[in-house]
């Protein structure tokens, strides 16, 4: 059987004879594409990336180096947005990500700036969905069947437990953790643990802070920030002012305050 692909750099890739790769696709060195997978015209795949069987990669999608995409995933398809009219939009995926079985990741929309972005070193487990215009950072874990609506922002080192749903435009802050089966409708501040339906604050993500090497003294400052925000009977604006006056300056505390100042949907309580 003659291969169904003649695109750029394909001579340096390992492509199964049943895969369909558009001649316009750009395929890097040492890329592997499994049986019955389909790669569209405007797709670019970086070197060392492995794509399993029955994967579809379409649209203006750029995938970086050394990613693993397991069978049945659908990457870069049109957004599920009634306002989308077929305009050109993008998906960018970084390096060293693991995208497991039957994950769906959609391109952006004009309203959201036209692009969906996923950073580096993320684990997206089976049956997760990343909707249009989402922005994901680095070192994120999305457990099975986590679903992100459009325009969601997930910062670095976040852990999303299984069967969690996140409302559109919600932000989840750095090193936060969301418990399983949660319904997240408001922003989750950095370093916080939330859980429930709807999600409510359950304390500080102590395990996450330790695993990510946060210094014990800094963990104490984060604990002080948490108590001011959640235990002092102050509203958010008053708590920000008090934290600004009383806490030691650090990059982490400044990020915490900046996140609170920019919260558009309110924060989980």
Kindly list the domain boundaries of the chain, sorted by start residue: 14-151, 210-262
Say whether 187 is catalytic: no
CATH of domain 14-151: 2.160.10.10
Q: Looking at residues 147-169, what average pLDDT do you find? A: 98
Looking at residue 6, its pLDDT comes to 47
Whole-angstrom Cα distance, residue 33 to residue 57? 11
- Which of these is catalytic: 46, 94, 119, 133? 133
| pLDDT tens-digit readout, 178-236 | 999 999 999 999 999 999 999 999 999 999 999 999 999 999 999 999 999 999 999 99
CATH of domain 210-262: 1.20.1180.10
- Which of these is catalytic: 54, 106, 129, 132? 132
Say whether 255 is catalytic: no
| Per-residue confidence band for 3, with pLDDT thresholds at 50, 70 and 90 | very low
Percent helix, percent strand, percent coil in the chain, to nearest 5: 15, 30, 55
Looking at residue 10, its pLDDT comes to 55
Say whether 215 is catalytic: no
Q: Dihedral sign for Cα 95, 97, 102, 106, please.
A: negative
The H or E element that residue 210 is part of is helix 206-211
Please tell me which residue, 13 or 261, carries the higher pLDDT value: 261
Residues 6+ apart with CB under 8 A from 43: 22, 25, 26, 57, 58, 59, 61, 62, 63, 76
What strand order describes the sheet that includes 26-27?
Answer: 26-27, 44-45, 60-63, 90-93, 115-118, 135-136, 153-154, 171-172
- Which of these is catalytic: 76, 150, 165, 208? 150
| pLDDT tens-digit readout, 43-88 | 999 999 999 999 999 999 999 999 999 999 999 999 999 999 999 9
Q: Looking at residues 132-155, what average pLDDT do you find? A: 98
């Amino acid at each position: 059987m003659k291969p169904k692909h003649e695109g750029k750099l394909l001579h340096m890739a390992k492509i199964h004879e049943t895969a369909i790769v558009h001649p316009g696709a750009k395929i890097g060195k040492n890329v592997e594409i499994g049986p019955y997978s389909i790669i569209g015209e405007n797709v670019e795949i970086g070197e060392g990336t492995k794509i399993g069987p029955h994967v579809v990669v379409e649209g203006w999608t750029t995938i970086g180096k050394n990613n693993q995409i397991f069978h049945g995933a659908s990457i870069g398809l049109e957004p599920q947005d009634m306002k989308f009219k077929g305009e050109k939009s993008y998906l960018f995926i970084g390096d060293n990500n693991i995208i497991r079985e039957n994950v769906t990741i959609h391109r952006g929309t004009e309203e959201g700036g036209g692009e969906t972005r996923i950073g580096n070193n993320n684990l997206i487990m089976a049956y997760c969905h990343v909707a249009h215009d989402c922005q994901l950072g680095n070192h994120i874990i999305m457990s099975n069947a986590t679903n992100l609506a459009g325009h969601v922002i997930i910062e670095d080192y976040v852990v999303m437990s299984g069967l969690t749903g996140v409302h559109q435009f919600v932000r989840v802050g750095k090193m936060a953790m969301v418990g399983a089966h949660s319904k997240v409708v408001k922003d989750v501040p950095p370093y916080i643990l939330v859980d429930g339906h709807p999600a409510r604050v359950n304390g500080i993500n102590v395990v996450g802070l330790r695993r990510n090497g946060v210094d014990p003294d800094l963990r104490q400052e984060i604990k002080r920030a948490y108590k001011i925000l959640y235990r002092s009977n102050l509203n958010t604006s008053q708590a920000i002012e008090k934290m600004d006056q009383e806490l030691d300056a650090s990059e982490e505390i400044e990020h915490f305050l900046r996140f609170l100042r920019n919260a558009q949907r309110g924060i989980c309580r």
